[in-house]
Chain A
């Protein structure tokens, strides 16, 4: 328990570093020629990194048998939502300056914005139901099913990135590869679970025929 509390504190402080760095640069003339672009890219990057981090918790705890790691997942997920919100706010405030008409045009017309917006909106119910109370209220199974939306957020976010770059796709591809590994891991686990279930089901009648 103590280890979890320390780890959570460390993660909490570490997850704030990207924001602190931005704020420091912003107040020290360090954001370069196009500050709004830097803020947009940085908050976007960190949203994606944190989404991928939450998605890596399950594989990591299963592979390393460090089951306590589940205790840090919610916080990382909420930080992903936090940076996603900053990214979204940068767009509506700094980039579009609350020009609703233009934003609606953007969301309808620009597919990378449509898809990025969707990725963000899909995170909202997850953030809202991140409490223990919500888990009890929804029931573990239903809560889990709802929170699988994060897979979709991850996929949409990578496509959003891929579609917005002009020519150099190396970074979005790198994110895509990591995401694919994390999702394929789950597919693999699911398939092996199904296979062992089937084996069990076949095994039961066989035992029934030949009781010891």
Chain B
């Protein structure tokens, strides 16, 4: 798994079982793969010439998805809404803009640095990470701190799979996640609305909880750029901003990380940020939420309905540790 330099041809491209291009891109993809194999030229260099969307592997289907007992049976939010309504401040503070602004975002080659209090400090290629475990489809409720919610069929596997392989030292009590910092590609980072790069953190037991998802797809396909490609986490019992997108670094540490939103407004956003209808945001109520596509608001559930995480916080004052 230790990869110093990303392979010239991402293994996912030579192993069609893991990821293959869908019908729309099939012909172009086959041509490129063939040409790449023949000439030995890196896949993405050629792909750049053909169609920029191919470099992002847009719409590539993910094969062999396993069902998950964690999935909800609630109605999935339309793909169109989940891909056109994105809080992704690296691109824009306007939720309707990342879909367009992230169009040409480069998600390959992509590596993730694993460091800090860990036995195996390493730089992993995202394609290698995606093969660590069998991909599952997990249909989760997703609740934004702003008071809206969606139901998304994410694709990935438990974050614990990666953490176990990284082998953290006993003194590692927290995990910190960092989003890519690249103002050239991410226009939102040219403004100072937030401190870049975006940082988030979890307590080790939260990160190891089976619900915590290391995610690289949704709706059976590779993650669209505006939804956090190529690799993100999804924490369905926490407000959406905890679920970091486009991760480039995972650091294990003994100290509680200062997450970006807490750093920005400590009175409004805490470290835990568990969905909690009883603790209002200082400026708005969290008792209800609007499920996108529905007219009337519905009551927000404690831990967003994921009661199985409650034991992580037993004995804690969740009003103080909001």
Contacts and interface: CB of A to CB of B under 8 A. Distances in A.
Contacts of A20: none
A167 B285 contact: no
B313 interface: no
Contacts of A34: 85, 95, 148, 290, 292
B283 A112 contact: yes
A167 B193 contact: yes
Interface stretch (A11-19, A103-111, A193-201): A103-111
B285 A105 contact: yes
B30 interface: no
A109 B80 CA distance: 35
B93 A168 contact: yes
* Band of interface residues on A: 20 to 34
Nearest to B145: A166
B41 to A, nearest CB: 40
Nearest to B81: A33
A32 B84 contact: yes
B85 A164 contact: no
A110 B194 contact: no
Interface residues of B, number: 26
B264 interface: yes
A167 B148 contact: no
Contact of B194 (A36, A94, A102, A167): A167
B93 A97 contact: no
A32 B283 contact: no
Contacts of B93: 166-168
Contacts of B290: 34, 36
A170 B194 CA distance: 13
4 nearest A-B pairs in the assembled complex, by CB-CB distance:
A33-B85, A168-B93, A33-B81, A168-B193
22 contacts: A32-B84, A33-B80, A33-B81, A33-B82, A33-B84, A33-B85, A33-B95, A33-B292, A34-B85, A34-B95, A34-B148, A36-B295, A37-B148, A106-B285, A110-B283, A110-B284, A112-B283, A164-B283, A166-B93, A166-B146, A167-B264, A168-B89
Interface of B: 80-82, 84-85, 89, 93, 95-96, 146, 148, 191, 193-194, 264-265, 280, 283-285, 290, 292-293, 295-297
